[in-house]
Amino acid sequence: CEGHAVPQARLLQSDRRKTVNSPRCVYMLISSSFLYLSALGMAVGHGIRCLSQLAELPELHQMMRQTCRDYAQKELAPIAAQLDKDHKFPAKQVQELGAMGVMAVEVPESLGGAGMDYLAYCLAVEELSRGCASTGVIVSVNNSLYLGPILKFGTEEQKKQWITPFTTGEKVGCFALSEPGNGSDAGAASTLAHQEGDEWVLNGTKAWITNCWDASATVVFATTDKSLKHKGISAFLVPMPHPGLSLGKKEDKLGIRASSTANIILEDCRIPLGNMLGDRGMGFKIAMQTLDSGRLGIAAQALGIAQAALDCAADYAHKRTAFGAPIGKLQAIQFKLADMALAIESARLLTWRAAMLRDAKKPFTKEAAMAKLGASEAATFVSHQAIQVLGGMGYVTDMPAERHYRDARITEIYEGTSEIQRLVIANKILKEYQQ
């Protein structure tokens, strides 16, 4: 993987010196609260203060979290079961979220976004996923996978054309990297792009593309130079619908059924030269960096699902009586609830830390992989145990536990399987200990 490869140990040392001799940092903390966020960012970067800042989120983030939580409870949770049954895209809710600024959290206000940081985005996705996991993934894909790379690698012209209309919730985007022949093996892209005059012509098939049936644009990765292997992949922006681009049948999935997943088939799909994102051959790097951030969105989604499952189980433990008392009095149930809460809280702190590192523009690849791995495994564990706590009730659709179980499963697979996350983490660790 590409990387920011400064070993952790060396980083802390240099920052320690900065902490002692940095009056600028103190000034920022004293001055207006509006600068609090950047102060927080700086403090995060100084390693040592990082942990104490996590005692409580900044007020802005707390308010934002509360707003998203209220919205999820009132507007998403009541319809989530029906959306799941009907495989229905929550168009109205996506528009409302767009109006709130949640569909483009990190996008600067000048382009129509909310202009907030990645920590705020993770909080938003977690709270929304707590209400409806499908809505959470729709928000996440639009923010991290579609707007993310364009924001980072797009030209000013491209940003205006491909970002601004996608901030309002009217339009959503998608991200086309995986193919029927390769998922984790992203370097082996067999979708080809060749130049004909003043157009790029794309041919190939992309698989497992979230949002594609409801999207108005996509970031597609195609090989421009087969001989260069993964350095020969480039990224392209393709509007949808478009001649030469067609969609496969909607996959009938186990979970997150309200979001559409299908193949994107490109047959002589012609796009202007200006639609290339970044430079020729940069595609793999763009994909990997995008997924680094997207990972946090999925970690947040997994946290939301896990939290919803825990809410369900804990509530049931109070109400259900057996052996003459609420089952919450039984140690077997108590141990389960404790393990569930521990798993969620650990993963949450990892996610927040990775997000804060990213906001401070520090290397965050390892932490992001840990967050995604931790959160997705927490989600499957917690939702599994939640069904166990609910007993028979957990197995039927009357209670949401079975939906959380189904929704949680995909978080260990997409945007980097758990196995890939382990490889990423191991890679970073070995580099740190390089002889």
Partner 1 sequence: MHRSSEVKHVASYLNTRGCECFGQPCESHCPVLTDRTIHVQLKTFIKIRVKPDRTGVVTDGVKHSMNPFCEIAVEEAIKLKEKKLVKEVVAVSCGPQQVQETIRTALAMGADRGIHVEVSGKDYETLGPLQVSKIFAALAKKEQADLIILGKQAIDDDCNQTGQITAALLDWPQGTFASEMTLEADKLKVVREVDGGLETIKINLPAVVTADLRLNTPRYATLPNIMKAKKKKIANVKPADLGVDVCSRLEVLKVDEPPQRQAGVKVETVDDLVGKLKEAGRV
According to CB under 8 A, which residues from 309 to 338 bind partner 1?
311, 314-315
96 counts as binding partner 1 under rule CB under 8 A: yes
Beta bridge partners of 261: 210
For residue 202, give every residue at least 6 positions away whose Cβ sits within 8 Å of its Cβ, in sequence order, or none: 191, 192, 193, 220, 222, 236, 238, 244, 266, 268, 269, 270, 271
78 counts as binding partner 1 under rule CB under 8 A: yes
67 counts as binding partner 1 under rule CB under 8 A: yes
Q: Are 196 and 225 in contact (CB under 8 A)?
A: no
Instruction: Give CA separation, 415 vs 56, 102, 189, 299, 382, in Å.
Output: 29, 21, 16, 10, 20
- Nearest residue to 410 (alpha-carbon basis) of 212, 188, 254, 217: 254
Distance in Å, CB of 67 to partner 1, minimum: 5
CB-wise, 63 or 396, nearer to partner 1? Answer: 63
Quote the CA–CA distance of 346 and 339 in Å, as a whole number: 11
Distance in Å, CB of 116 to partner 1, minimum: 6
133 counts as binding partner 1 under rule CB under 8 A: no
33 counts as binding partner 1 under rule CB under 8 A: yes
Q: Are 104 and 163 in contact (CB under 8 A)?
A: yes
DSSP secondary-structure letter at 57?
-
CB-wise, 124 or 271, nearer to partner 1? Answer: 124
CB-wise, 116 or 378, nearer to partner 1? Answer: 116
DSSP secondary-structure letter at 216?
E
Identified binder of partner 1 from the candidate list 7, 115, 244, 326, rule CB under 8 A: 115
Catalytically annotated residues: 415
60 counts as binding partner 1 under rule CB under 8 A: yes
Quote the CA–CA distance of 370 and 425 in Å, as a whole number: 7
Instruction: Pick the piece of the chain touching partner 1 (CB under 8 A) from 94-102, 232-240, 332-340, 407-415.
Output: 94-102
CB-wise, 120 or 264, nearer to partner 1? Answer: 120
Identified binder of partner 1 from the candidate list 16, 29, 48, 70, rule CB under 8 A: 70
Residues near partner 1 (CB under 8 A): 33-34, 59-60, 62-64, 66-67, 70-71, 73-74, 77-78, 96, 99-102, 105, 109, 114-116, 120, 124, 131, 308, 311, 314-315
